[in-house]
């Protein structure tokens, strides 16, 4: 026992040190930005909750970092555990201002009062940082501006990626930042991790500014335009309106088609690999077709739109079916979660189509969730490759190709096996979530509603059939938090964290 403990302590010190350096620093930076919003809108009551959040974050940083600041160098096993634990820790810290604001605000609406329940505040924080968008606020338009900002900002940060953003703060600390980087992103834009992170942040800011201006031009209020742009480019989906994007109709003086087009472009941009964005900014438009992931992302969006349109023709006029199917399909596939329609009355087949599109999700190296387009392509191509090998002569060489790249038999099998393993684990966690909802949610909701809700949570989507809300059973809230967590960090780091609690890091 003593030998086991002595073996675990060095690994634990490394994880705690990196948590203390990474998470509280980010929260404090977010508090400073949110304080500016509070002052700008005269919501001075928010300063104390934000100050308390900063104070708690400083205390956590000191307790975790200072005792272990001379711990050893982080390796991949430490990074995976740190990544999994960081999302939990930052969600707890991010829930503090939500909880305190609900008690400090002079005018407490029904939506704000719901956040006096710590489980609701934690759920909202997890949903934000995992860039999901399921919300405990039935009427977000009634929330204080600083509260709305905090929700949008944590989604913007969550979409960008905590690790990528924090590279600019920790690049000079001695940790091998490339290891930290590749726990969050799979590809680099530049040879240097630091320059890659700067470029990604720059692209994010560019789209945020451009999207805000474009939505403002569509007659959307500047505040709503900013918030919706932040949550669209991060493929997250929190809205400042109870009806989500469905609020912005012509009857209210907006240009709904223009708004949906702008948001559609932003959602697709957020769901696209960042290396593709870099090539596009350099004028290489052919990359949209040359890149295998982007090509399949766009093709699948068309497939889901047509499938939903055909199914919804049974219930809706052709024009409405086309408009609603197109927006919901793009929102689901990009794992954003904005809605222009209540999908609960839709057919079970339509809900299944949405669930499948959320399951596949966006491209790897993007802000989106799901199992990722690349893995889906590997699995589909893998089936065809296996069949070709089975029907070919033993001496025949059957290449496995992705785009223009051919892989050896050994490397192809490794990639197919990895994609199959993660897909199986994904399905298993969705099954767990559905079982819990079956025992905790009203029987008024169908099995299709529950599959959609759990897939939406794990895919980081935020589209809802109406199940998620402040009156949910606590166990239902917690299992959806689990689904959001494992979906955001792609399960393997979570399993590493659980294993380390029982057997240590070896």
457-474 pLDDT tens trace: 999 999 999 999 999 999
Is the pLDDT at 250 greater than 90, yes or no?
yes
Q: What is the pLDDT of residue 433?
A: 98
Report in angstroms the alpha-carbon separations of 461 from 237, 271, 332, 361, 477. 7, 11, 7, 9, 16
DSSP assignments along 287-334, one per residue:
HHHHSHHHHHHHHHHHHHHHHHHHHHTTTS-HHHHHHHHHHHHHHHHT
Helix axes 256-270, 318-333, angle to 10 degrees: 30
How far apart are the C-alpha atoms of 56 and 469, rounded to whole Å? 28
Indicate the helix (H) or strand (E) that contains 490.
Answer: none
pLDDT of residue 506: 64
**Which DSSP helix (H) or strand (E) runs through 197?**
helix 193-217
Does residue 193 surpass a pLDDT of 80? no
Element (H, E) at 405: strand 405-407
What value does the mean pLDDT take over residues 25-31? 88
Amino acid 159: pLDDT: 87
DSSP string of 443-487, one letter each residue = TTS-HHHHHHHHHHHHTT----SS--STTS-HHHHHHHHHHHHHH
* DSSP designation for 402: E
DSSP 114: G
Report pLDDT for 468: 97
Q: Does residue 4 have a pLDDT over 70?
A: no
The 10s digit of each residue's pLDDT in 160-191 is 875 465 454 444 344 444 444 444 444 555 55
What are the pLDDT digits (tens) for 344-380? 999 999 999 999 999 999 998 888 999 999 999 999 9
The alpha-carbon radius of gyration of the chain (Å, integer) is: 23
Q: Residues 212-246: pLDDT tens digits?
A: 999 999 999 999 999 999 999 999 999 999 999 99
Residues 288-321 pLDDT 10s: 988 999 999 999 999 999 999 999 998 899 999 9
260 Cβ contact partners less than 8 Å away, ≥ 6 residues apart: 245, 323, 327, 340
Mean pLDDT on 110-121: 96
Of the chain, the percentage scoring pLDDT greater than 70 comes to: 91
- Backbone angles phi and psi of 234, in degrees to 5: -90, 10
For 256-293, the pLDDT digits (tens) are 999 999 999 999 999 998 889 888 988 889 989 889 99
Is the pLDDT at 103 greater than 90? The verdict is yes
Helix (H, G, I), strand (E, B) or coil at 41: coil
Distance of alpha carbon 448 from alpha carbon 475, whole angstroms: 20
- Whole-number average pLDDT of the chain: 89
Please write the tens of the pLDDT for every residue from 388-442: 988 888 878 888 988 888 888 888 999 999 899 999 999 999 999 999 999 999 9
Model pLDDT, residue 173: 43
Handedness of CA 420, 423, 428, 434 (dihedral sign): negative
Share of the chain above pLDDT 90, in %: 68
**Cα 298 from Cα 284, distance rounded (Å):** 17
Find all residues with CB under 8 Å of 391, minimum gap 6, and list them: none
Burial (CB count <10 Å: 0-12, 13-18, 19+), residue 502:
exposed
HSE of 487 in the Cβ direction (CA atoms, 13 Å)?
A: 40
């Amino acid at each position: 026992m003593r030998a086991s403990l002595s073996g675990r302590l060095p690994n634990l010190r490394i994880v705690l040190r990196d948590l203390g350096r990474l998470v509280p620093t980010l929260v404090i930076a977010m508090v400073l930005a949110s304080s500016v919003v509070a002052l700008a809108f005269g919501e001075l009551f928010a300063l104390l909750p934000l100050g308390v959040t900063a104070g708690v974050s400083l205390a956590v940083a000191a307790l975790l970092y200072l005792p272990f600041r001379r711990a050893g160098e982080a390796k991949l096993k430490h990074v995976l555990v740190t990544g999994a634990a960081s999302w939990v820790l930052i969600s707890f810290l991010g829930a503090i201002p939500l909880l305190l604001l609900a008690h400090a605000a002079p005018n407490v609406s029904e939506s704000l009062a719901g956040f006096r329940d710590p489980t609701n505040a934690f759920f909202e924080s997890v949903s934000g940082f995992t860039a999901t968008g399921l919300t405990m606020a039935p009427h977000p338009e009634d929330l204080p501006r600083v509260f709305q900002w905090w929700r949008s900002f944590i989604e913007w940060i969550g979409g960008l990626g905590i690790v990528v953003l924090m590279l600019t703060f920790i690049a000079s600390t001695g940790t091998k930042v490339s290891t930290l980087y590749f726990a969050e992103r799979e590809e680099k834009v530049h040879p240097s991790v630091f320059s890659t992170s700067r470029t990604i942040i720059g692209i994010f800011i560019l789209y945020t500014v451009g999207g805000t201006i474009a939505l403002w031009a569509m007659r959307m209020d500047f505040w709503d335009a900013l918030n919706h742009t932040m949550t669209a480019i991060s493929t997250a989906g929190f809205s400042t309106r109870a009806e989500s994007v469905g609020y912005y109709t012509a009857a209210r003086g907006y240009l709904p088609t223009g708004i949906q087009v702008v948001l559609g472009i932003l959602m697709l941009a957020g769901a696209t690999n960042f290396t593709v964005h870099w090539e596009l900014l350099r004028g290489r438009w052919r990359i949209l077709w040359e890149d295998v992931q982007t090509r399949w992302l766009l093709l699948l969006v068309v497939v889901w739109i047509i499938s939903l349109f055909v199914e919804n023709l049974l219930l809706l006029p052709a024009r409405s079916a086309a408009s609603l199917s197109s927006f919901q399909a793009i929102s689901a596939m990009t794992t954003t979660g904005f809605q222009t329609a209540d999908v609960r009355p839709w057919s079970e087949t339509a809900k299944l189509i949405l669930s499948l599109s959320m399951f596949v999700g966006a491209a790897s190296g993007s802000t989106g969730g799901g199992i990722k387009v690349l893995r889906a392509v590997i699995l589909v191509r893998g089936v065809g490759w296996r069949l070709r090998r089975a029907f070919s002569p033993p001496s025949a060489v059957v290449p496995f190709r992705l785009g223009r790249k051919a892989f050896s038999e050994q490397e192809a099998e490794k990639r197919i096996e990895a994609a199959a393993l993660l897909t199986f684990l994904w399905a298993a966690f969705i099954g767990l979530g559905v079982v819990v909802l079956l025992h905790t949610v009203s029987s008024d909701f169908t099995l299709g509603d529950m599959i959609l809700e759990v897939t939406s949570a794990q895919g980081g989507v935020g589209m809802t059939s109406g199940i998620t809300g402040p009156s949910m059973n606590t166990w239902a809230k917690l299992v959806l938090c689990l689904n959001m967590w494992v979906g955001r960090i792609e399960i393997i780091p979570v399993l590493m964290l659980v294993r380390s609690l029982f057997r240590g890091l070896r």
